[in-house]
């Protein structure tokens, strides 16, 4: 193929893929089968491999990947990002309308109402139609550059669609990044399965995801974006009204609010707000309010701003649904990792569509802070998809008979002493743990986790059976499952021969499961399914994995120090080593089908380079491309993890740091030699 032919084909492929992305991610109306899409996408990748100069920043191939950053660059917004004043009552909405009308007497006011998406505000800059920079709100003037993370959002156009109208030279588009409710629930379930603390709400999970420095981790979170406004708009005819803005945003390829209302009076506004309240529960994203905006830009101009918010707009916040009930008791739940969680046992109460009899109290610190006592009347809250929580005590209803809760010093399940373990930088607070690894609650949890669908996938091994097996002392750890007999099982209460045989068949089938499932199933702290897969890619066998040092483990993509430490610590326990040997004897598969030998990853696999100073012949991007093409990583800063610093002229502090840390320093000639070798 000539270069000209490749270029033409590339342009057509990009167009076609963009069209399919828009249909799938924006309109939720797929226009092609997954296979056919993959074929197009791979053709694009192949073409770009052969003709690297065709790769543009807005190519669909540039969505995922990108090197981890050491910090976000600050970005100055071209127009400031304001916030909104909030109201919580219908009365305040009426007052707002009156207030605005007074500022523009005699004018007919037309309002727009749209959902207030509960996510993270974002500013998207497009230059000549191409997405060039995306930033968080920050202080309203300057935010963090999260462009690489935003590029992983498939519904975000890399290039604005042509509409026949002139595209602005520079435009800032304002919107909200969010994690859909279903993805939030799934992510939390995964975090809990890996022994990590769940996110409190979808908003936090979106903010936490956007703040990740490694775009590859962000790509694994199905973030999405809805846009609802403009900042700077230069070099084309700007819209004159807000509904025109929404229509334009839609026409150039964005997801905009799925339902909006145009209103001409306070009564109409309140009706719209109520209607949205009914509808919002069915939305795929969390909606915590309604935003009311004046439609006409000319009138907005006349009305102006306060120091932090426009005077022509307001947010009506829906109250989180709350109820009062009696706290009958506090019980302690012991999890698979030994963590003791206080649980509120409540007088059942109906709240936001379901009856609630239990709610988490998180941990001891939380209990103390809220001074929750047994017998108290408490307020419980359920905001959207969030698990019900006790928000506080109704102090006016205290009688003096309430009893403060003594956090147990011994495990309620096995009587062993408990120890307070500090948080370790993974979002987990201070927790009490039962340190007895043979505690029945922990064993039960470990068996259940091992059998779970995402792990070894053994049907029937749920809570009930796991509990029976432990109670009857048939199983003390997961290896014991492999010596269970039909007779032992049928002797259990309510266990027929057929279910017993099915369970045994499931156990037998689990022997051939892939290594990552086994690893995940072991329930090692912080080793979720994603981490287990990442390990499976880099290690051929379980033995290879456990002979790696902590440092070697941190060199694996997606594995940080906390995880590496947890793995090594787990394996240092003699009991755990013994468990592995018994699993080996039982005939379990210890090999990974995901394993890719380092050679396939390139000779520089696992090696991190830092470039500094001016190199004699190569531009920085060229040097980086060479290193990456051979499987190496290029990082922006020098640390203990750096393998080589490539230094040119005027190399400054990075060179000094490399020398201080004893990192190997090479020049361009040496780098080129290594590349040739
Ligand atoms: S308009 C000057 N519209 O709510 C107008 N904001 O509480 C600025 N938000 O910072 C925002 N949905 O992050 C607007 N449909 C919507 C919105 C929305 C969510 C967020 C946004 C803003 C915050 C203000």
- Write down the architecture of domain 74-317 according to CATH: 2-Layer Sandwich (3.30)
Considering the segment(s) 599-676 as one domain, its CATH architecture is 3-Layer(aba) Sandwich (3.40)
Instruction: Look at residue 386 in the predicted model and tell me its pLDDT.
Output: 61
H/E stretch holding 177 reads strand 170-178
Q: Is 83 in the pocket of ligand 1 (CB under 6 A)?
A: yes
Evaluate whether 422 touches 404 at the Cβ level (below 8 Å): no
Q: Residue 105 burial by CB count (10 A; 0-12/13-18/19+): exposed, middle or buried? A: exposed
Residues in the chain: 677
Q: Is 599-676 the same fold as 3-62? A: no
Give which of 666, 673, 669 is closest to 611, Cα–Cα: 666
Catalytic residues, by residue number, are 116
Burial of 614 (0-12, 13-18, 19+ CB in 10 A): middle
- Ligand 1 atom 23: residue of nearest CA: 83
Is domain 322-404 classified as CATH 2.40.50.140?
A: yes
Residue 65 pLDDT: 54
Q: What are the residues facing 305 on neighbouring strands? A: 310
Q: Tell me if residue 117 falls in helix, strand or coil.
A: strand
How much distance in Å is there from the Cα of 121 to the middle of ligand 1?
7
Percent composition of the chain: helix, strand, coil (DSSP 3-state, to 5):
40, 20, 40
How far apart CA 210 and CA 419 sit, in angstroms, is: 34
CB of 228 within 6 A of ligand 1: the answer is yes
Class of CATH domain 3-62: mainly alpha
To test the ligand 1 pocket, which listed residue (112, 121, 175, 307) has its Cβ within 8 A of the most ligand atoms?
121
Measured between alpha carbons, how far is 202 from 186 in angstroms, rounded to an integer?
A: 11
CA nearest 201: which of 212, 214, 187? Answer: 187
Q: Whose Cα sits closest to atom 7 in ligand 1? A: 84
383-400 as b/e: b if 16+ CB within 10 A: bbebebbbebbeeeeeee
- Residue 638 CB: number of other CB atoms within 10 A? 23
Task: Write down the CATH superfamily of domain 440-585.
Answer: 5' to 3' exonuclease, C-terminal subdomain (1.10.150.20)
Extents of the domains making up the chain? 3-62, 74-317, 322-404, 440-585, 599-676
Residue 59 near residue 141 (C-beta atoms within 8 A): no
Consecutive H or E run containing 665? strand 664-666
- 62 is written with which tokens? 């540039």
Q: Is the CB of 447 under 6 A from ligand 1?
A: no
> For residue 118, which atom of ligand 1 is closest to its CA?
19
Q: What is the pLDDT of residue 419?
A: 92
8 A C-beta contact, residue 230 and residue 171: yes
Contact 648 CB / ligand 1 (< 6 Å): no
| First and final C-alpha spacing in the chain | 30
Decide the pairing of beta strands 664-666 and 644-647.
parallel
- Tally helices (H) and strands (E) across the chain: 25, 24
Report the nearest-CA residue for atom 6 of ligand 1.
116
Distances (CA, A) of 622 to 60, 626, 629: 21, 6, 10
- CA-315 nearest atom, ligand 1: 7
* C-alpha to C-alpha distance for 527 and 548, rounded to whole angstroms: 16
Q: Is the CB of 230 under 6 A from ligand 1?
A: no
pTM (predicted TM-score): 0.63
- Residue entry with tokens 């394993």: 595
The closest residue, in CA terms, to atom 13 on ligand 1 is 121
Phi/psi at 4 (nearest 5 deg)? Answer: -65, -40
pLDDT along the chain (677 residues), means of 10: 93 92 83 84 91 88 71 90 91 96 96 95 96 92 92 94 94 96 84 75 84 82 95 95 97 95 97 95 90 97 89 92 92 91 90 78 88 96 72 94 94 93 54 90 95 91 92 96 96 92 96 96 91 93 96 86 94 95 97 83 84 89 85 83 90 87 93 90
CA–CA gap between residue 525 and residue 519 (Å, rounded): 11
Which contiguous run of DSSP H or E holds residue 314?
strand 313-317
Cα 116 to ligand 1 centroid, rounded to whole Å: 6
3-state secondary structure 439-488: CHHHHHHHHHHHHCCCCCCCCCCCHHHHHHHHHCCCCCCHHHHHHCCHHH
Residue 599: predicted pLDDT: 65
Three-class SS of 606-658: CCEEEEECECCCCCHHHHHHHHHHCCCEEECCCCCCCCEEEECECCCHHHHHH
The DSSP-derived string for 524-584 is -TT--HHHHHHHHHH-SBHHHHHHS-HHHHHTSTT--HHHHHHHHHHHHSHHHHHHHHHHH
């Amino acid at each position: 193929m000539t270069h000209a032919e490749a270029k033409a084909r590339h342009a057509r492929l990009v167009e076609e893929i963009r069209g399919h992305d828009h249909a799938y991610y924006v309109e939720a109306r797929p226009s092609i089968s997954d296979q056919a899409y993959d074929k197009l996408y791979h053709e694009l990748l192949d073409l770009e491999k052969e003709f690297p100069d065709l790769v543009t920043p807005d190519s669909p191939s540039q969505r995922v990947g990108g090197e981890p950053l050491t910090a976000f660059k600050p970005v100055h917004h071209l127009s400031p990002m304001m916030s909104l004043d909030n109201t919580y009552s219908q009365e305040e909405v009426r007052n707002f309308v009156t207030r605005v009308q007074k500022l523009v007497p005699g004018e007919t006011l037309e309002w727009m109402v749209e959902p207030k998406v509960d996510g993270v505000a974002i500013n998207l800059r497009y230059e000549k139609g191409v997405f060039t920079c995306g930033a968080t709100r920050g202080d309203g003037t300057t935010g963090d550059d999260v462009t690489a993370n935003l590029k992983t959002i498939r519904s975000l156009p890399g290039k604005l669609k042509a509409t026949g109208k002139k595209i602005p030279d520079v435009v800032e588009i304002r919107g909200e990044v969010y994690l859909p409710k279903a993805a939030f629930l799934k992510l939390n379930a995964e975090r809990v399965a890996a022994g990590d603390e769940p996110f409190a709400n979808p908003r936090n999970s979106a903010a936490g995801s956007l703040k990740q420095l490694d775009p590859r981790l962000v790509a694994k979170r199905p973030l999405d974006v809805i846009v609802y406004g403009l900042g700077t708009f230069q070099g084309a005819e700007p819209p004159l009204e807000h509904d025109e803005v929404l229509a334009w945003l839609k026409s150039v390829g964005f997801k905009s609010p799925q339902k909006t209302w145009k209103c001409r009076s306070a009564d109409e506004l309140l009706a719209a707000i109520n209607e949205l309240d009914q509808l919002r529960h069915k939305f795929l994203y969390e909606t915590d309010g309604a935003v009311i905006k004046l439609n006409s830009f000319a009138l907005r101009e006349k009305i102006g701003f306060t120091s932090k918010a426009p005077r022509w707009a307001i947010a009506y916040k829906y109250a989180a649904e709350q109820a009062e009930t009696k706290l009958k008791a506090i019980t302690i739940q012991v999890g698979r990792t030994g963590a003791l969680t206080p649980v509120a046992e409540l007088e059942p109460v109906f709240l936001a569509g379901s009856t609630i009899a239990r709610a988490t109290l998180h941990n001891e610190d939380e209990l103390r802070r809220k001074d929750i006592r047994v017998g108290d009347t408490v307020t419980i809250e359920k905001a959207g998809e969030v698990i019900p929580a006790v928000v506080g005590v109704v102090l006016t209803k205290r009688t003096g008979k309430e009893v403060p809760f003594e956090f147990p010093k011994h495990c309620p399940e096995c009587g062993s002493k408990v120890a307070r373990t500090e948080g370790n930088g993974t979002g987990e607070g201070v927790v009490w743990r039962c340190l007895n690894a043979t505690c029945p609650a922990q064993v039960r949890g470990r068996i259940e986790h091992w059998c779970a669908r995402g792990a070894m996938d053994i049907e029937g091994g749920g809570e009930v059976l796991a509990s029976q097996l432990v109670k009857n002392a048939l199983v003390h750890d997961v290896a014991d499952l492999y010596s269970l007999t039909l007779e032992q099982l049928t002797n259990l209460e309510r266990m027929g021969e057929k279910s017993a045989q099915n369970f045994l068949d499931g156990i037998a089938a689990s022997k051939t499961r892939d290594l990552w499932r086994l690893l995940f199933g072991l329930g090692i702290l912080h080793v979720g399914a994603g981490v287990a897969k990442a390990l499976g890619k880099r290690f051929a066998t379980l033995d290879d994995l456990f002979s790696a040092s902590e440092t070697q483990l941190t060199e694996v993509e997606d594995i940080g120090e906390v995880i590496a430490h947890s793995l090594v610590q787990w394996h240092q326990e003699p009991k755990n080593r013994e468990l592995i040997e018994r699993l080996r004897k039982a005939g379990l598969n210890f090999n990974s089908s995901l394993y890719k030998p380092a050679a396939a990853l390139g000779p520089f696999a696992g090696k991190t380079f830092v470039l500094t100073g001016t190199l004699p012949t190569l531009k920085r991007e060229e040097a980086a491309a060479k290193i990456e093409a051979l499987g190496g990583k290029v990082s922006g800063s020098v640390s203990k993890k750096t393998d080589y610093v490539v230094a040119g002229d005027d190399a400054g502090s990075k060179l000094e740091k490399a020398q201080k840390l004893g990192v190997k320093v090479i020049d361009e000639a040496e780098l080129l030699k290594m590349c040739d070798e």
